[in-house]
């Protein structure tokens, strides 16, 4: 049997496993098994707590399809509350090692409970070689793509993981699913890509709906919310402090003048349990 916690951040749900107490052979297979919504517990992804030599603790993230994600914005908020409330980390400010670099965490405590988690998500990268995008241009900004019989204008950015951002007049979940699924796997994106459909309400409010690489349609995507603000800000469509409303809740995203993105939002425990491996 295996101990786990189920958590969610703005409706993006995760299974957390304490890798300091138990070790596993194949994390990709474990993620697929645990995240299956019929034969397992059910979640968008799985995080494992492991030691770090360069930070206070290390987060390993897998999507529900068993693919490794370099970073997970909603996930790192849940991970941070988990390691604090389980006593693994004992201070409200700490650093988490990820495949996308070390992230700074600030917990907001109310009566000893974690009320919100702020994450220094670090900076972004527009270079097509880094995202990656297979195109003979340095950046992929407002480029035209044809998919599922539609011509769309998309911009791409690496926010720890690859993100595409498409601005729409109206968000339709059926289109997020139909178009997102096709764009994720286009040859243009050798490592696949997360796809965000964005409606700008005003300069401090946007709506985002995301099709996630390796997880499909989710109720929120933290790195996607960050990517959407970054691109909207670059195109002059929003300011540098934005409330991002997603189907599962909302996130506060801000860009500082050192080219860094800060994300703040909740992280909620759903349950603790035992899984029969």
Ligand X SMILES: N[C@H](CCC[C@H](N)C(=O)O)C(=O)O
- For the annotated catalytic residues, the residue numbers are 72, 221
Binding residues, by number, are: 12, 63, 73-74, 194, 212-213, 222-223
37: three-class secondary structure by DSSP: coil
Q: How many CA atoms lie within 13 A of 84 on its CB side?
A: 26
In the bound complex, what is the minimum distance in angstroms from residue 62's beta carbon to ligand X? Answer: 9
Among 78, 215, 219, 251, binds ligand X (CB under 6 A): 215
The secondary structure of 178-246, three-state, reads: HHHHHHHCCCCCCCCCEEEEEEEEECCEEEEEEEECCCEECCCCHHHHHHHHHHHHHCCCCCCEEEEEE
Among 180, 214, 249, 265, binds ligand X (CB under 6 A): 214
Listed in sequence order, the residues at least 6 apart from 113 whose beta carbon sits closer than 8 Å to its beta carbon are none
Among 152, 161, 165, 206, binds ligand X (CB under 6 A): 161
In the bound complex, what is the minimum distance in angstroms from residue 63's beta carbon to ligand X? Answer: 5
Quick count: other Cβ atoms within 10 Å of Cβ 183?
Answer: 23
Of 89 and 249, nearer to ligand X (C-beta) is 249
Binding residues for substrate, by number, are: 12, 63, 73-74, 194, 212-213, 222-223
Quick count: other Cβ atoms within 10 Å of Cβ 8?
Answer: 22
Nearest to 12 by CA among 79, 80, 82, 75: 75
Among 80, 128, 176, 223, binds ligand X (CB under 6 A): 223
Site for ligand X in 121-150 (CB under 6 A): none
Stretch of 93-101, 197-205, 218-226, 250-258 lying at the interface with ligand X (CB under 6 A): 218-226
In the bound complex, what is the minimum distance in angstroms from residue 123's beta carbon to ligand X? Answer: 16
In the bound complex, what is the minimum distance in angstroms from residue 75's beta carbon to ligand X? Answer: 6
Q: Is 246 in the site for ligand X (CB under 6 A)?
A: no
Q: Is 103 in the site for ligand X (CB under 6 A)?
A: no
Of 173 and 202, nearer to ligand X (C-beta) is 173
Q: Is 212 in the site for ligand X (CB under 6 A)?
A: yes
Q: Is 73 in the site for ligand X (CB under 6 A)?
A: yes
Of 74 and 228, nearer to ligand X (C-beta) is 74
Stretch of 29-37, 69-77, 100-108, 173-181 lying at the interface with ligand X (CB under 6 A): 69-77
Q: How are beta strands 57-63 and 68-69 bridged, if at all? A: antiparallel
DSSP label at residue 125? B
Q: Is 64 in the site for ligand X (CB under 6 A)?
A: no
d(CA 213, CA 224) in angstroms, rounded, equals 11
Among 72, 100, 253, 263, binds ligand X (CB under 6 A): 72
**Which single residue is written with the structure tokens 């890798």?**
19
Burial class (CB in 10 A: 0-12, 13-18, 19+), 28: middle
Q: Which residues bind ligand X (CB under 6 A)?
A: 12, 45, 63, 69, 72-75, 161, 194, 212-215, 221-223
């Amino acid at each position: 049997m295996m101990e786990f916690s189920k958590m969610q951040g703005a409706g993006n749900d995760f299974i957390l496993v304490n890798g300091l107490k138990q070790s596993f052979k194949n994390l990709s297979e474990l993620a697929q098994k645990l995240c299956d919504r019929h034969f397992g517990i059910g979640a968008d992804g799985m995080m494992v707590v492991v030691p770090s030599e360069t930070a206070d603790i290390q987060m390993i993230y897998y999507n529900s399809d068993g693919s490794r994600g370099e970073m997970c914005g909603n996930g790192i908020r849940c991970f941070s509350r988990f390691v604090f409330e389980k006593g693994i980390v004992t201070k409200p400010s700490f650093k988490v090692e990820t495949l996308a670099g070390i992230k700074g965490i600030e917990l907001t405590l109310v009566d000893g409970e974690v009320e919100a988690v702020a994450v220094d998500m670090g900076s972004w990268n527009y270079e097509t070689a880094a995202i990656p995008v297979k195109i003979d241009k340095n950046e992929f900004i407002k480029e035209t793509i044809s998919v599922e019989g539609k011509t769309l204008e998309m911009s791409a950015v690496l926010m720890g993981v690859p993100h595409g951002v498409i601005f729409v007049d109206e968000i339709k979940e059926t289109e997020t699913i139909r178009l997102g699924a096709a764009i994720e796997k286009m040859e243009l994106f050798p490592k696949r890509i997360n796809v965000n459909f964005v409606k700008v309400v005003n300069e401090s409010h946007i709506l985002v709906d995301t099709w996630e690489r390796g997880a499909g349609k989710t109720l929120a995507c933290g790195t996607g919310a960050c990517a959407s603000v970054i691109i909207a800000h670059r195109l002059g469509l929003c300011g540098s402090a934005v409330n991002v409303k997603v189907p599962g809740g909302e996130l506060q995203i801000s860009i500082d003048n050192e080219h860094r993105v800060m994300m703040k939002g909740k992280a909620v425990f759903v349950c603790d349990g035992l899984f029969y491996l």
